[in-house]
Amino acid sequence: MRREFKLPDVGEGLTEAEIVRWHVKPGDQVKVNQIVVEIETAKSIVELPIPWDGVVSGLMADEGQTIDVGNPIIAVDTEPDVVPDTGPEGSTEAVPSPPAEGAVEPGVHGSPAPKEERQAVLVGYGVKTGPTKRRARKPATPPPAATVASPAPAAPPPAVAAASPAPAAPPVSTPAPPSAGPARGAKALAKPPVRKLAKDLGVDLTALTGTGPEGSITRDDVHAAAAGATPVAAPQAPPQRGEERIPVRGVRKMTAQAMVASAFTAPHVTEFLQVDMTETMEAVTRLRALPDFAQTKVSPLLLVAKAVLVAARRHPMINSSWDEAAQEIVVKHYVNLGIAAATPRGLIVPNVKDAHELPLPELARRLGQLTETARAGRTQPAEMAGGTFTITNVGVFGVDAGTPILNPGEAAILAFGQVREMPWVVGGELAVRRVTTLSLSFDHRIVDGELGSLFLRDVGAMLEDPLRMLAWS
């Protein structure tokens, strides 16, 4: 029995994903929940398991190809554990039988289905308990010989036809006039968001001519139709010598959209503070020698993170968000600390949940795990959701300072510059010290200049004298 596994929605309302790497090939034996493919959504790279035992009969998408949610990506030949539903047209498409009356698939309210009715399913996209509905098949296309300009007369009875010795003249077909769009009843090529837009604007997609790739209908086509204009495909400029075009998709596309939305929604203000990090760098050296940190990487970022957590407790409004719909400021008395991480596929911001509750050794371990997972491209959407404050470490790239853009939904973000030796006045005398620059961007709807300055001052004071972290904790 041939079964086709369709691309599921692994995030919140995602409509497409890119095939990154296949782990199987046609002819391979697969088991239930075996990882068969890696996909990249707009949020992260996700591994997909197969919900059946069987043999791979075909891969229906190539690596690097973007597939819409709901389209089949792999076909598997399985053992016939259910009787195929042969419809009125002789269809043998495999359709899972619904559970017996009173039985419920695990994960749905009720008790598990009887063992003989149990089907191996994948958590999150199991079998449906309702009756299966089959899409009507399209009518078969008539042979070319029957296509004429006007209706042909009815065929004579078989006996008369057999008695006629004269050969029939070949049918003459008149070419049909060119159509402005797809034939009525044909399914227009458009992505789900475009279909929803067309429905909202009352535009018939089957009457449009798509200007997108492979004739697909775009948002501009729908808007043009709604305005009464005829969409015209824009000529594509030939690539210039020495140029490279990189498709914007996946994580990079989502990051771009989020940054544009943040920059033009929240009024940004950035403040800078130079800090003598000499004492903090000495504390980092001493922490590395402690048994509690023997298996953990200790870096200056750890103490910067701890200083942020302590300062957020002293100034709770810095750890809040703006609720536009309710016209309220949501102050969060917990800190999900995000660390911006640069990956080959774009910038992501995973966060340490409830970082304010963690002791220093555990915070160090969690930061290390977060960084390793991000570099390996294994960060999951849940690990990037719910952040309340972000730190971006631009110092690892040799940069002193910057004006970071807020992570959407947060009120502030701190950029930590490189730590380098600089001349510094200590006790009225010039000395060489380890200095860094802190840059704090904040949403001026929530954080005014006084609050932003007090928060930044406290973070700097704790980095100049780490004992303040103990005194203010």
Contacts with 162 (C-beta within 8 Å, 6 or more apart), sequence order: none
Neighbours of 327 (CB within 10 A): 7
What backbone torsions phi and psi does residue 82 show, to the nearest 5 degrees? Answer: -130, 155
Instruction: Report yes or no: 340 and 349 within 8 Å, Cβ to Cβ.
Output: yes
Q: Which of 223, 268, 315, 444 is catalytic?
A: 444
444 as an active site residue: the answer is yes
Helices (H), 227-299: 250-263, 278-288
Distance from C-alpha of 305 to C-alpha of 301, rounded to nearest angstrom:
6
In angstroms, the Cα distances linking 369 to 5, 155, 366, 378 are 32, 77, 5, 11
User: DSSP secondary-structure letter at 140?
Assistant: P
Token pair, residue 372, equals 């390793």
Distance from C-alpha of 16 to C-alpha of 70, rounded to nearest angstrom:
9
Distance from C-alpha of 219 to C-alpha of 224, rounded to nearest angstrom:
9
Distance from C-alpha of 276 to C-alpha of 335, rounded to nearest angstrom:
26
- Residues 429-444, buried b or exposed e (16+ Cβ, 10 A)? eeeebbbbbbbbbbbe
In angstroms, the Cα distances linking 256 to 6, 338, 341, 449 are 28, 18, 15, 28
CA 146 to chain centre: 49
Distance from C-alpha of 2 to C-alpha of 55, rounded to nearest angstrom:
9
- The three-state secondary structure class of 297 is coil
Instruction: Report yes or no: 463 and 274 within 8 Å, Cβ to Cβ.
Output: no
Give, to the nearest 10 degrees, the angle between helix 449-464 and helix 300-314: 140
Instruction: Report yes or no: 103 and 117 within 8 Å, Cβ to Cβ.
Output: yes
Instruction: Report yes or no: 94 and 88 within 8 Å, Cβ to Cβ.
Output: no
Distance from C-alpha of 310 to C-alpha of 460, rounded to nearest angstrom:
12
User: DSSP secondary-structure letter at 26?
Assistant: T
In angstroms, the Cα distances linking 186 to 89, 194, 294, 457 are 20, 17, 66, 65
**Mind telling me the catalytic residues?**
444
